[in-house]
């Protein structure tokens, strides 16, 4: 039996920096937390177990990245250049670039290539402490190519120490073969693609890009109806580029989350609250497309809507593989507090996946998934930009990533 006591740590078990325990210990048996509390109260049953000294590190739950498009072919550095020269994201999309250029590359790539490229983006996230990640389809836009993306996402979850939650985003963009026939494409999404992919066990949730360059409210409803008929929860890319009541519609369908939300109004905020829908903010996309309309943070706070933060890793609007840097942007650009940012990538992000009982907190009885951070205070997590801070990433009681830089210093204290 694999038994261990982790000690000499500051514990932040629920991702809330206002709720911590100094000089704590975690007893882990067969991959699960069996006890946590002050070291001096360690029950005698565990006293003889092997010890692991974390040298005063802060320990939080593993992070959760609850909105990504991690699997895709190619990149769009060329389009970035066009935007820097003055073209807008929407203009490029309307000219047939944007999402559709990634669709072309994704359709052309085989599973092994997509896996390899996505794995190179997943590895830095895991090294930053991400233990659960959502991965959307949506660059295939036909049954075979959407299946290919989702199979790659599932395979990443099998081959890497991370829980993968898949989301079917068939309604991401109109594929060229359906040009001018958006309703017929929605039929295809609802009647052919979704049922087949559900039967193959490839879908955990369903998303729609509800936007003037995406799909209408009525089309979004049809996709949501089809999802609910199959017992799937929904979420929505809502009000990123324009105000259209998308979030309120998502709330009517008891969506897990409504994401982006720069143009959300007060009625939309109230609807999210009433439906218990998480507001997922994606500050790296806001930053990268040089958006200027800020999401209504004060309203979200006033209505006590849970706020999550995610990378939105994708080739068009958010080419980042750092959830910590994204936390920094949430604070710098949206003025979240450090505490809000940490809750946004732990407990609230887990709720946005519908998986709050599995992720986002350290608790007796749960799988022992946590991160030991080489920081003096948790406020450092969203403070540093582009600096590796995780000393250990632990999944099921096993160290899956360790950064030993600084461990050998004479003081024995990590001071990188
Ligand atoms: N919103 C986004 O941020 C991504 N998709 C979406 O609906 C962008 C996708 C892309 O440009 O490739
Ligand atoms: Fe997105």
Which of 99, 174, 207 to mutate to test ligand 1, by most ligand atoms within 8 A of the CB atom?
99
Distance from the alpha carbon of residue 21 to the mean position of ligand 2, in angstroms: 36
For ligand 1, atom 2, which residue shows the shortest CA distance?
317
For ligand 1, atom 1, which residue shows the shortest CA distance?
237
Residues contacting ligand 1 via CB (< 6 Å): 98-99, 102, 172, 209, 237, 240, 285, 312, 314-318
| Contact (CB, 8 A) for 360 and 369 | no
Which-ligand-closest: CA of 239? 1
pTM above 0.95, yes or no: yes
DSSP string, 72-141: -SS--HHHHHHHHTT--HHHHHHTT-THHHHHHHHHHS-HHHHHHHHHHHHHHHHHTTEEEEEEE--S--
Query: Which two structure tokens, joined as six digits, stand for 402?
Result: 């360790």
- Whole-angstrom distance, CA of residue 256 vs CA of residue 233: 7
Closest ligand 1 atom to Cα of 173: 7
* CB-based neighbours (< 5 A) of ligand 2, an ion: 312
| Contact (CB, 8 A) for 208 and 244 | no
Distance from the alpha carbon of residue 72 to the mean position of ligand 1, in angstroms: 12
First to last CA, the chain: 35
Query: Which two structure tokens, joined as six digits, stand for 265?
Result: 């109004």
Distance from the alpha carbon of residue 286 to the mean position of ligand 1, in angstroms: 11
Classify residue 264 as exposed, middle or buried by CB count within 10 Å of its CB (0-12, 13-18, 19+): buried
Per-residue pLDDT of the chain (416 residues; tens, 9 = 90+): 699 999 999 999 999 999 999 999 999 999 999 999 999 999 999 999 999 999 999 999 999 999 999 999 999 999 999 999 999 988 998 888 899 999 999 999 999 999 999 999 999 999 999 999 999 999 999 999 999 999 999 999 999 999 999 999 999 999 999 999 999 999 999 999 999 999 999 999 999 999 988 999 999 999 999 999 999 999 999 999 999 999 999 999 999 999 999 999 999 999 999 999 999 999 999 999 999 999 999 999 999 999 999 999 999 999 999 999 999 999 999 999 999 999 999 999 999 999 999 999 999 999 999 999 999 999 999 999 999 999 999 999 999 999 988 776 655 454 33
Distance from the alpha carbon of residue 99 to the mean position of ligand 1, in angstroms: 7
For ligand 1, atom 10, which residue shows the shortest CA distance?
316
- Whole-angstrom distance, CA of residue 40 vs CA of residue 150: 47
Closest ligand 1 atom to Cα of 76: 12
């Amino acid at each position: 039996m694999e038994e261990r006591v982790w000690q000499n740590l500051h514990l932040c078990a629920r991702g809330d920096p206002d709720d911590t325990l100094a000089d704590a210990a975690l007893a882990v048996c067969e991959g699960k937390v069996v006890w946590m509390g002050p070291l001096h109260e360690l029950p005698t049953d565990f006293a003889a177990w092997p010890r692991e000294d974390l040298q005063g590190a802060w320990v939080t739950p593993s992070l959760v990245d609850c909105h990504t498009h991690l699997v895709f072919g190619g990149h769009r550095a060329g389009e970035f250049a066009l935007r820097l020269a003055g073209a807008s994201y929407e203009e490029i999309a309307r000219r047939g670039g944007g999402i559709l250029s990634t669709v072309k590359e994704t359709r052309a790539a085989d599973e092994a290539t997509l896996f390899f490229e996505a794995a190179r983006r997943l590895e830095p996230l895991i090294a930053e402490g991400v233990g659960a990640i959502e991965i959307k389809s949506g660059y295939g836009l036909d049954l075979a190519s959407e299946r290919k993306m989702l199979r790659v996402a599932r395979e990443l979850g099998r081959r890497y120490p991370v829980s993968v939650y898949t989301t079917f985003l068939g309604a991401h963009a109109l594929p060229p073969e359906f040009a001018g026939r958006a309703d017929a494409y929605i039929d295809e999404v609802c009647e052919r693609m979704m049922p087949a992919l559900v039967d193959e066990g490839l879908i955990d949730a369903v998303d729609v890009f509800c936007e003037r360059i995406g799909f209408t409210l009525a089309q979004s409803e049809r996709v949501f109806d089809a999802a609910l008929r199959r017992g799937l929860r929904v979420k929505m890319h809502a009000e990123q580029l324009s105000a259209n009541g998308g979030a309120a519609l998502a709330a009517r369908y008891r969506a897990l989350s409504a994401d982006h939300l720069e143009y959300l109004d007060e009625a939309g905020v109230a609807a999210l609250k009433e439906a218990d829908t998480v507001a997922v903010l994606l500050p790296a996309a806001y930053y990268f497309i040089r958006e200027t309309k800020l999401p209504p943070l004060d309203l979200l706070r006033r209505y006590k809507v849970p706020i999550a933060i995610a990378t939105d890793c994708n080739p068009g609007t958010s080419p980042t593989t750092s959830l910590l840097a994204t936390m920094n942007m949430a604070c710098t650009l949206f003025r979240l507090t450090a505490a809000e940012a940490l809750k946004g990538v732990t407990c609230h992000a887990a709720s946005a996946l519908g998986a709050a009982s599995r992720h986002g907190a350290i608790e007796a009885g749960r799988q022992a998934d946590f991160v030991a951070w080489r920081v003096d205070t948790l406020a450092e997590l969203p403070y540093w930009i582009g600096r590796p801070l995780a000393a250990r990433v632990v999944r099921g009681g096993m160290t899956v990533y360790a950064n030993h830089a600084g461990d050998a210093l004479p003081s024995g204290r990590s001071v990188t």
